[in-house]
Structure 1
């Protein structure tokens, strides 16, 4: 075992001795799960580090293998760890998340948390509106709209493919801007003087096709979160988007109140 692993295990043993007891009405595997969860969240076990083996944890906690496996199974269901056949358990990388309680661009939402974001422009062109796009903009199918496709990066890893549609006059202006470093929402408000007021959106889970998988560096068929969002300036639709996020690296969060 490496010196780092020994240090981590020593800290686990210290916590185990002070926090796990058979006298408690809380099941042992639940107590152990909570000890391990705290150590993952406080950085004792950083992302991608290997957890102690089942045998090591059996000794440090003084419990059976089945109890350890129950605790690890719970952590795996929560997405805090993942298992590699023949190698053991590893700490999962925390997913980035965006709150849906505010209308924000991707960069706006990620920057306060210290994430680095930028975009790669894949294409920008005038196209004929599909039936879906035409319906959202209340125009005839086949009418001209401006399509912008971008590959979004988070901490230098591809995180989403954004396919956005705009009225032609807005789209032509947008491609003159720095779309690699700036959020389109910020450009629309600060540069174009549009007052973005609200958005209609829906979420669904899909599987990555060949093109999305290639751009996002994932396997074809891997899970994606797809957001369909129409953003308005007043009551005028100005930005209709399909946002495809990697399911293994990103999540949306929403707080709702019961009144």
Structure 2
């Protein structure tokens, strides 16, 4: 009889299929099961974990609901490369939004330095031209794969209060609010598509010139003062920004005016 995996316990209060799902999920996230690779068959998993087929199917069903695998009739289950998304109707940091969806986020700090603010950055942050800012470059990894390259500019007085070690594990938004006691209010976003520059392409593991989604984001504190200006570069094959918009109803009386004009035109 196959040896049961140490991470799966009959004595645990966690259901067996959930334990198995977590083991397989970890294997997907750490690359043991690469994107588009075939997962072990149901029979192989039954032998691996020494459990029934129904238990394996429950575990695989949950992984499929999470978007981590997909099934091909007659061929089995395969690891998918799900496209993560962030809803831009609320102001959240990347890790804050992704963690809520069960994704694993790792930050790789490329550099953190004090520089003279470029003209556009100075204008956005309402600083005098050439004023000092802290410039931070980070690669954000989603489920162990690079998904975005972030270039952040903060006024020097604010940026110097952030610690490089903390930048490797936390969102800047949360650091501003919790460590700097600076409640955030709103952000202005501009979204476009660009070709990847060589350094960003290398950091995101894409070809030079590959299409990227670029976000310019200017964040203000609760008093309306600009405190954080960023260029966010996202791989288009792994990430989406989503937005819900509602149709505005005509102002009161507008429809009556339209109907009245229509009636007059018919009479004429």
| Same fold? TM cut 0.5 | yes
SS for the counterpart of 1:151 is: strand
Does 1:235 pair with 2:224? yes
Counterpart for residue 160 of structure 1: 148
Counterpart for residue 251 of structure 1: 240
Per-residue deviation at 1:94? Answer: 2.0
Counterpart for residue 105 of structure 1: 93
- Give the TM-score of the pair, scaled to structure 1: 0.66
SS for the counterpart of 1:147 is: strand
Alignment of 1:156-195 (within 5 A): 156-175=144-163, 178-195=166-183
Per-residue deviation at 1:209? Answer: 1.2
Alignment of 1:1-259 (within 5 A): 4=41, 43=64, 51=72, 93-175=81-163, 178-233=166-221, 234-259=223-248
- Give the TM-score of the pair, scaled to structure 2: 0.64
Equivalent pair of 1:226/1:243 in contact (CA under 8 Å)? yes
- Take 1:43 and 1:139, find their aligned partners in 2: how far apart are those partners? 49
Larger radius of gyration: 2
Per-residue deviation at 1:51? Answer: 4.4
Gaps in structure 2 of 5+ consecutive residues: 1-38, 43-60, 249-268
- Take 1:47 and 1:115, find their aligned partners in 2: how far apart are those partners? 11
The number of equivalent residue pairs is: 188
Gaps in structure 1 of 5+ consecutive residues: 6-39, 57-89
Per-residue deviation at 1:141? Answer: 2.5
- Take 1:208 and 1:196, find their aligned partners in 2: how far apart are those partners? 30
Root-mean-square deviation (Å): 2.7
